[in-house]
Amino acid sequence: NIAFNVDEIRKDFPILNREVNGYPLVYLDNAATSQTPKQVMDAIVEYYSNYNANIHRGVHSLSQEATDKYEGARKKIQQHFNAEKAHEIIFTSGTTHGINLVASGFASILKKGDEILVSALEHHSNIVPWQMLCEKTGAILKVIPMNQEGELIYEAFEDLLSENTKMVFLNHVSNALGTINPIKKIIDKAHEKGAAVLIDGAQAAPHIKADVQALDVDFYVVSAHKMCGPTGVGVLYGKEEWLNKLPPYQGGGEMIATVSFEKTTYAELPHKFEAGTPNICGGIAFGAAIDYMNAIGFEAISRYEEELLDYATLKLQEIEGMKLYGTSREKTAVISFNIEGLHPYDIGTLVDKMGIAVRTGHHCAQPIMDFYKIPGTVRASFSFYNTKDEIERFIEAVKKAKMMLS
């Protein structure tokens, strides 16, 4: 592990040198997408410069090289999440794709009256596919409620869990509030009733190294673009046993063993779920992103981000009329807030004029906003390449915006 030196780290991210509206950029929208280090960009350029070819099918050298690199990336990702087998890692276009793949597969498993539990803290991508599944199968969706601090109410989960529960799905970390959910406890309890568990790891993956075997989780989904990788690629981890049980999601090339008009047989894992030419370069670049983050080290990353979070929380609370949402002690570096009497959109627009990128709105988590009876929040989300100076600029900008709007 290299020593954690934020000034050195920032040199890897060319975009952090740019200006926005005449000010040096302060990028605090990391929960939406992270920035890309040059090591990852280099991997992309190297792919298109040296060995761009379609994988798996070719006998020629370039195809072989591309296949080796792509499968090498799969192994890196396997090791990172500590999956037992490389074929338990399915390349997808991102978290949304991974969830839809599993939800679609469960259409052939669930029966009318079966129950699936979702948490109140979910992103729309971990709600809508399950609602569609319920419509298709007649299964019933039940919601694990949350409290004012933005934490799931574990006892309510225990009460909802029954012999009828076939699936539980929730995020590891909430994108709107940053809450870290007690997923190990939930997975173990769900398994006692024989229910499968899918964890949406999109927001956890940039901060926490999940060990899928230690968690004993059935499915874990992530997107590369939240962890220094490119957009349009992610992975679904699934236990081999489950992946063998689920039918293919899409038909096409790559996912078959034999095809005839009488009968087609499907390829082995992971190819069964990887129809068509995948995002080859993206997968390889995802591997490079994982290497990059691991070289810094996830412990160092989360320790540093916690410092940023504590500092920003303290400073924001000094602003009159400040209301923070998601005040659990178990949280990643995300702050959601409103200022009394002001619309989050107005605050976001004004701080952008000062070079500061934050997100405003419902953050694809409308049920959370409904819970707090608000239209949305301002969300600042930090990464390991942010600095205390940037937080000071952000706080000053919020104060200025408040003055201008009041």
Residue 286 and residue 293: Cα distance in Å, rounded?
11
Residue 199 and residue 272: Cα distance in Å, rounded?
22
Residues 183-202 that bind ligand PMP (CB under 6 A): 200, 202
Among 30, 104, 175, 360, binds ligand PMP (CB under 6 A): 175
Pick the closer one to ligand PMP by CB: 97 or 239: 97
- Catalytic pick from 134, 228, 281, 364? 364
Residue 129 and residue 132: Cα distance in Å, rounded?
5
Among 35, 36, 67, 125, binds ligand PMP (CB under 6 A): 125
Among 69, 74, 123, 402, binds ligand PMP (CB under 6 A): 123
Q: How far is the CB of 138 from ligand PMP (least distance, A)?
A: 26
Which DSSP string corresponds to 89-117? EEEESSHHHHHHHHHHHHTTT--TT-EEE
Q: Measuring CA to CA, which residue among 372, 210, 231 is closest to residue 293?
A: 210
Residues 39-98 that bind ligand PMP (CB under 6 A): 94-96
152-171 mask for ligand PMP (x: CB under 6 A)? Answer: -------------------x
Pick the closer one to ligand PMP by CB: 125 or 377: 125
Pick the closer one to ligand PMP by CB: 138 or 276: 276
Q: How far is the CB of 345 from ligand PMP (least distance, A)?
A: 18
Q: Measuring CA to CA, which residue among 227, 278, 327 is closest to residue 69?
A: 278
Q: How far is the CB of 89 from ligand PMP (least distance, A)?
A: 17
Pick the closer one to ligand PMP by CB: 170 or 391: 170
Residue 359 and residue 344: Cα distance in Å, rounded?
9
Q: How far is the CB of 365 from ligand PMP (least distance, A)?
A: 8
206-245 mask for ligand PMP (x: CB under 6 A)? Answer: -----------------x----------------------
379 touches ligand PMP by CB under 6 A:
no
179 touches ligand PMP by CB under 6 A:
no
Phi, psi of 329 (to 5 degrees): -75, -20
Residue 283 and residue 224: Cα distance in Å, rounded?
9
279 touches ligand PMP by CB under 6 A:
no
Q: Are 127 and 103 in contact (CB under 8 A)?
A: no
Pick the closer one to ligand PMP by CB: 105 or 230: 230
Alpha-carbon torsion 96, 276, 137, 109, what sign? negative
332 touches ligand PMP by CB under 6 A:
no
Total residues at the site for ligand PMP (CB under 6 A)? Answer: 13
119 touches ligand PMP by CB under 6 A:
no
Is 364 an annotated catalytic residue? Answer: yes
Q: How far apart are the first and last CA of the chain?
A: 48
Which residues have C-beta within 8 Å of that of residue 363, sequence separation ≥ 6?
31, 123, 175, 176, 336, 376, 377, 379
The size of the chain, in residues, is 406
Among 137, 165, 203, 381, binds ligand PMP (CB under 6 A): 203
Q: Are 70 and 89 in contact (CB under 8 A)?
A: no
- Number of helical H runs and strand E runs in the chain: 14, 17
Q: Are 113 and 138 in contact (CB under 8 A)?
A: yes
Among 126, 137, 279, 360, binds ligand PMP (CB under 6 A): 126
Pick the closer one to ligand PMP by CB: 178 or 270: 178
The residues that are catalytic are: 364
Contact set with ligand PMP (CB under 6 A): 94-96, 123, 125-126, 171, 175, 200, 202-203, 223, 364
